Structure 1
Amino acid sequence: MKLTTILEFNKRIVFAVAALLILGGLGGVLLQPSFLRPLAELAVTARRTEVPIRSVRSGRVMVALTFGQSNAANSGETRYRSRGRVYNFYQGKLYAARDPLLGATGRGGSVWTRLGDRLVAQGRYDAVVFVPLGVGATGIARWAPGGDLHAKVVSAIREVKGSGLNVTHLMWHQGESDVGRTGTLTYETMFLDMLVSIRDEGVNAPIYVSVATRCHNQGADRTIRRAQQGLVDPSLGIYAGPDTDKLGRRYRYDRCHFSTEGLEKFAELWLKALAPGGDK
């Protein structure tokens, strides 16, 4: 056997033994959540443009917490990168907004990046900050106190406050998953319980409730629509958001989530709902 062949063989053995030692001796450490979490965080925020939070602590700034299910998350057909001063707040840091937004589920596009550009372009705000929390296929029970996602809302509010910002708007778009499962009164009660908890965190911002029940072959649902419309009460700071049940199959690439055209229409509906006088 040639000397070079022997050396190459020995080198492979050394590498194999080293790998076994690492996996055996350090594997338990490397696979611990405390070790993996920073690596996962680095991967999520890679190639994002971080912006100093101090840049949005003055002026006319909207800080909107957006939550609900997939159409409040990143489930749109096409991604969009905001061109104006529109930002994505995520785990105490601020990034230039581009889809998919950090903090919400899904890998597609969102309505928020498009809405932010419209709000800034119209001069309503100097800057817009979105705090996206949407999670696909979630019923309202998961967002209400006692639900597994309620802590996510509370935690985000505290992170925003800890960064020297205040939530100015709450935007709720949810309901499809409750069709045929939740009654009108139950839906309203869980929503109001959720809102009370948010108010207890010192957030007195107006909350905008979308009417959203249409998904796939499921048409508009009277029970959930009645609950969402019945919740509107300006004396409690609850206002009407967009009625996206009006956006039919033409605007949904899979009969549920919004196409590019649908996202543009959705953004226009939000723009109208947020205007003085609201969605009338």
Structure 2
Amino acid sequence: MDLKKILMNLLKSNHLYLKMMIIFLIFLFNENISNYHISCGYFNSFLYYSPLSFSNLEEDLIKLFRRKEFCDISFKTENGEIIEAHKLILKYRLKDENQIEKLQEIISKKSIKESNQIFEMIYSNRIINPKLYSEIKEIINSNEKIEETMKRIYLNENENEKDFIIERKEKQYKFPKLILIMRSELYRGMFLSVTEDTSNKVTDYSELSDKSFQIFEYWIYSNQIKDEIQITQEIIEELEIGIDYFQLNQTYPNLLDLLINKFNN
């Protein structure tokens, strides 16, 4: 493996200080002005893999925490301030439900700022504060990507978790309400506008085919398209409209780009 590949692999590390040191060394020893664009390339890679760069799934999770909407569990900081969170996210991000007590113990010794950073690291699995991360690493699924965590929620058939039904002509699709709120501004707006939780189902008016809807369903959990799915021009056109209908976050990775890339390959 050549030096370039080694450096690129190191830049994918979760260790922020290691990545900063690599970038510094690249600029320090890269005295040839003609190679300046190479250094910039490494620097862009650093930004991409750094905790400051989030996928839309991570962005949506952090937004969910910051908005403090639909929370169902609370924690108290060292000064008695209350921080609210979501049981569903903690259930899958922590190693097991017994770790909630340990998390409460950690939060009880932290300031409100430190506590917020801890929760944002749990929700996104990004190292925002290395010192704080070292304190929670043993209680969270630190080696599991957020996409993998969300896939476990997707595969779980627990009726108590998948508490909302989207009815279509072909079949019913069950979702955790929290996932719809987090990923779709359409459903977030709908749930926020309802003063009483009178129904656990809604009819889908998106006019997506069943295949397109299944792609949408899997993507909101995983940011991915299943390998076995065959993409057609019709599906791309349907989901281009569906993206606007469901009001999805279309920063990286963009669903439409994923569809087009898969179609072309």
TM bucket (normalised to shorter chain) is under 0.3
Alignment TM-score, normalising by the size of structure 1: 0.23
Higher helix share: 2
Alignment TM-score, normalising by the size of structure 2: 0.24
Higher strand share: 1
